[in-house]
Chains A and B, each alone.
Chain A
Amino acid sequence: MVLCPYVFVISKHDIAPLRLQPSEVASAHWVSLRALLSPSQRTVEFVDVANRYSRDLRRWHNHFLLGEMVFAAVRLIPSESSYSTSQSGFIPAESKRVSAASKLRRWWRNDPLPAPSLDVPLHLWGLTLGVMADFLDLLPPHNAIRLWIYPTFTAYDLQFILWVMSYRFKARKEELLLQGIADMGSPITLEDGVQAVPVRNESFAKPQLVDADGPHYDAGIEGLSLGRMARQPKRGSRSDAVGSLLEGYYDYIRRSIQVTMLTRTAVAATLLFYFIKRRRRI
């Protein structure tokens, strides 16, 4: 699917109240750009992996083995919210049969009521964060992409193996993005071919590259400043930064899962062998 984002500005102060389509929209929120630009609202989103990959990997890779996936996220602080109040679940209903475990849990937490939907924090992550980051990066301090992290996992061994295996991949991406090539390996996003583009990041003090166009500042993967503020007029060499960073990354995820599984199996087999040997000696 090709996703096409469009930007609109509401030109009137007093537009009609929003009318939410209940089958599609649970709630709508106006969020200040200041809140989105604020580093203090950066967080992570934990996503249960099982649903996302069960088609691709073997069945026995389940939630228990892999843990959850961790994605970059921004907590939203709305200034104004509307809700589809007619939707079931807006006012939490007490289920007719409350299990003993659930009652115990509530007693332990000293929380007599199930949480209403309004208490669930709003997290912006994934594709929508990618689109928003592209826009935010155009505004000072031009570090929206800095807030983005490569997805990883909660399981520590998998996290480590993924980090090791993807280290050079990420370093290569950083290099390419430093040169300003925003859309490597993806000719469908180009019209004019790949162009090297000087990157200018005003939030860094020291210029590190100087060429005929003048000094350019070292952006680094954490201080990327691609997009409009990059001093390049050529169309076709601008693409979505997050998409570019992710391109090819999921291969590393797949491979690191395989390596982790093999490693765990090897370790388990070794331990089993050791204990059997010990028992035989006794």
Chain B
Amino acid sequence: MSSKDPVPPNLIHHLRSVLIDLCENPYPYVSNPPTTPKRASVALILRISPDYDYWPPKEAEESYVNIQGGSVRERLERFFAQDWVKHGDPEVLFIKRSSRKEDKWSSHVAFPGGRRDPEDEDDRAAAVRESCEEVGIDLSEENAISVGNLAQRVVTSSWGKTA
């Protein structure tokens, strides 16, 4: 029998606390400095990969929990109360960007995301739209819980000068 490398038992528990804290205490909005009107958003998309012994029930099954509806906190509480989530392994999605040059494959690891368009209602909407366009992931309420944000930051390029 192969040995298991278990997820530290507290990790899911701490993740739950962190996410609830994030949803209740959003980071402040950072306005654009006068020289940089652009805004961009990225999506830090988490999922729980189920353990072999704790497989999630199908929609038709009795033990299936519908976590739609209610406040973000309520949805998070319901989500993390499920057995398969408690025993799962949390993961995050990264993308590797395409290289523009034809002879190079290597390029940067990033989160899905991109520039905010005028049509985007807010920064969060930009993150949702870009994620859908780039990786085809649907972050609507049916599939995902929008937890909150992390610290917004002014991005510099060229040795500290603003981008």
Q: In the bound complex, how far is the Cα of B135 from the Cα of A151, in angstroms?
A: 31
| A103: min CB distance to chain B, Å | 18
- Docked-complex contact B111 and A53, CB < 8 angstroms: no
Would you give the shortest CB distance from B34 to chain A, in whole angstroms?
10
**Cβ < 8 Å to B, chain A residues 1-59:** 1-34, 36, 52-53, 55-56
Is B152 a contact partner of A13 (Cβ separation < 8 A)?
Answer: no
A240 to B143, CA, bound (A): 28
| One of A84-92, A163-171, A206-214, A263-271 at the interface | A84-92
The number of residues on chain B lying at the interface, defined by a beta carbon within 8 Å of a beta carbon of chain A, is 92
B25 partner residues in chain A, CB cutoff 8 A: 228, 233, 235
| Chain A neighbourhood of B8, CB < 8 A | 34
Q: What DSSP secondary structure best describes chain B's contact surface?
A: mixed
Tell me whether B109 and A8 are in contact (CB under 8 A).
no
- Taking beta carbons and an 8 Å cutoff, which residues of A are in contact with B? 1-34, 36, 52-53, 55-56, 76, 78-80, 84, 87-90, 117, 120, 122-128, 130-132, 134-135, 138-140, 186, 188-191, 228, 233, 235-236, 238-240, 243, 248-251, 253-254
Give chain B's interface residues, CB within 8 Å of chain A. 7-8, 10-11, 14-15, 18-19, 21-22, 25-33, 36, 38-50, 56, 67-68, 75-76, 79, 84, 89-99, 102, 105-113, 123-124, 126-127, 133-139, 142-156, 158-160, 162-163
**Contacts beyond the supplied A5-B127, A56-B158, A240-B151: 9 A-B pairs with Cβ under 8 Å:** A1-B154, A2-B32, A6-B44, A9-B145, A26-B107, A32-B89, A33-B89, A87-B98, A188-B154
